[in-house]
Chains A and B, each alone.
Chain A
């Protein structure tokens, strides 16, 4: 299980406007492309030297491919990253201010303290 890799996906998608739109429109395809092409990129290395060992397990891949926020929370993905990216993708679909943020909270309402561990 790799909370780090879940976070790396959320982080690298969130900071790229084109990837935010691509993940919104084609979640499963974006996850598959990213795992194949980007998962092993070392983020401050520009020469193409990569890591060799990073991959999702099936549960993680499916949670990202279905944009399953409660599952990502359960898996210990960093809540700030999940929230920020989801706001970028889905807030636009709601008319009332904060409507999406409230729905997001409601989807997580079955979680009680202590929340899943987010340590990486």
Chain B
């Protein structure tokens, strides 16, 4: 059976690539600290020595549109192109290309369907920065096969928060039941408090530092019960109008397991939104 080598949860800041590669007067003053934190975070994945990556993210109205909106979708393709014209335009993101692990995709779909998750699938999926950003930060070589899993955190009506946690729990169980002698890292990205296209956007910090402080504590301590107790689809509008991206952090708490403290926790208070990085090494999974 496969081994879960690491569980990683992170924000996906689309400006990291440009900040980290810029030089001279274009280089922002926070770039060096950011690069140092990302380099340290990257080592937590490298140390886990993974063979395959499951990548949880959310399409930002690129391929998934309101005429056909799945709540949860698993990529099942031999290859994936990455990033779109408007991400190149706004964030300077490069075009990327990945191999897929169709065998693991099939296993997640079959077992997930049988476990009561009516997962959608895609045989031709061009992934966006929710998935490419963690590849840029954590595995810039992009040399491992992937299985992308998309969640809807973007276009209401959304599933209830507990459903994201349950999906995370299911993904963990399904990966552990995969009959392959492979080390799988499960990586997911979301947001802390965030405002996009509203009056609180692009402030000196995230729109709700108090929410961010609590959220980091819930994630770091694996306190699913408290997170579920304090977070609802309605309450997530309050810290910022794009804070439903936190649901993917809750999904990753489900993957890591209730009460499981993260082995690695870091954050970086940036303009616009707080960055946060978490790694768990499941028992027996560390390198």
Contact of A88 among B67, B90, B199 (CB under 8 A): B90
Report whether A11 and B196 are in contact in the complex, using a CB–CB cutoff of 8 Å: no
Stretch at the interface among A22-30, A31-39, A58-66, A76-84: A76-84
Contact A73 B65 (CB under 8 A): no
A18 to B: closest C-beta gap in Å: 11
1/0 per residue, CB under 8 A from B, across A91-120: the answer is 000000010011011101111011100111
**Is the pair A115, B237 in contact by a Cβ cutoff of 8 Å?**
yes
Chain B residues contacting A102 (CB-CB under 8 Å) are 202
Q: How far is the CA of A43 from the CA of B157 in the complex (A)?
A: 21
Given A88-B90, A120-B155, decide whether A80 and B237 contact each other with a Cβ distance below 8 A. no
Q: Is the Cβ of B67 less than 8 Å from the Cβ of A44?
A: yes
CB distance from A15 to the nearest CB of B (A): 6
Count of A interface residues, CB-CB < 8 Å? 36
Chain B, range 170-227, C-beta contacts under 8 Å to A: 196-203
Cβ-defined contact, B86 with A78, below 8 A: no
A24 to chain B, nearest CB (A): 13
The answer to whether B199 and A105 touch across the interface, beta carbons within 8 angstroms, is yes
Q: How far is the CB of B74 from chain A (nearest CB, A)?
A: 19
Question: Do A84 and B90 touch (CB < 8 A)?
Answer: yes
Residues in B whose Cβ lies below 8 Å from that of A119? 156-157
Known A15-B85, A44-B67, A120-B155: A109·B90 in contact at CB below 8 Å: no
Chain B, range 48-86, C-beta contacts under 8 Å to A? 60-62, 65-68, 84-86
Query: Which residues does chain A contribute within 8 Å of B84, judged by CB atoms?
Result: 15
Cα distance A69–B74 in the bound complex, in angstroms: 35
- Is there an interface contact between B85 and A17, defined as CB atoms closer than 8 Å? yes
Judge whether A87 is part of the interface by a CB distance below 8 angstroms. yes
Q: In the bound complex, do residue B61 and residue A101 qualify as a contact, i.e. CB atoms below 8 Å apart?
A: no
Does chain A have a CB within 8 A of B283? no
Whether A120 pairs with B86 at a CB distance below 8 angstroms is no
Identify the closest chain B residue to A104 (Cβ). B201
Q: Which residues of A contact B200 (CB under 8 A)?
A: 105
Report how far A81 CA is from B60 CA in the complex, Å. 9
User: Interface residues of A: mostly helix, strand, loop or mixed?
Assistant: helix
Q: Which residue of B lies closest to A69 (CB)?
A: B197
Q: Restricting to A43-62, which residues have a CB under 8 Å from any CB of B?
A: 43-44
Complex: A102 Cα to B199 Cα, angstroms: 9
B210 smallest CB distance to A (angstroms) = 15
* Nearest CB in chain B to that of A106: its residue: B199
**What 1/0 flags go to B236-253 for Cβ under 8 Å of A?**
011001100000000000
For residue A42, CB closer than 8 A to chain B, the reply is yes
Distance in angstroms between the alpha carbons of A15 and B128 in the assembled complex: 13
Contact A14/B86 with A80-B154, A119-B156 known, Cβ cut-off 8 Å: yes
Q: When the two chains form their complex, are residues B202 and A80 in contact, meaning their CB atoms are under 8 A apart?
A: no
- B238 surroundings in chain A (CB, below 8 A): 113
Are A113 and B237 in contact, with the CB atoms below 8 A? yes
Q: Is the CB of A15 within 8 A of B86?
A: yes
Which A residue sits closest to B271, measured CB to CB? A98
Quick one: given A7-B66, A15-B84, A84-B90, are A111 and B199 in contact (CB under 8 Å)?
Answer: yes
Beyond A11-B65, A119-B156, 8 additional contacts (C-beta under 8 Å) are: A4-B66, A43-B67, A81-B61, A82-B197, A87-B90, A88-B89, A104-B197, A108-B199
| Pairs A–B under 8 Å by Cβ, sample size 29 | A11-B61, A11-B65, A15-B85, A15-B86, A17-B89, A42-B67, A43-B65, A44-B67, A73-B198, A78-B61, A79-B197, A79-B198, A80-B61, A83-B197, A83-B201, A84-B90, A101-B201, A101-B202, A104-B201, A105-B198, A105-B199, A105-B201, A105-B203, A108-B198, A109-B199, A111-B198, A113-B237, A115-B198, A119-B156
Smallest CB-CB A-B distances: 10 pairs: A79-B197, A83-B197, A108-B199, A101-B202, A119-B156, A109-B199, A105-B201, A80-B196, A105-B199, A82-B197
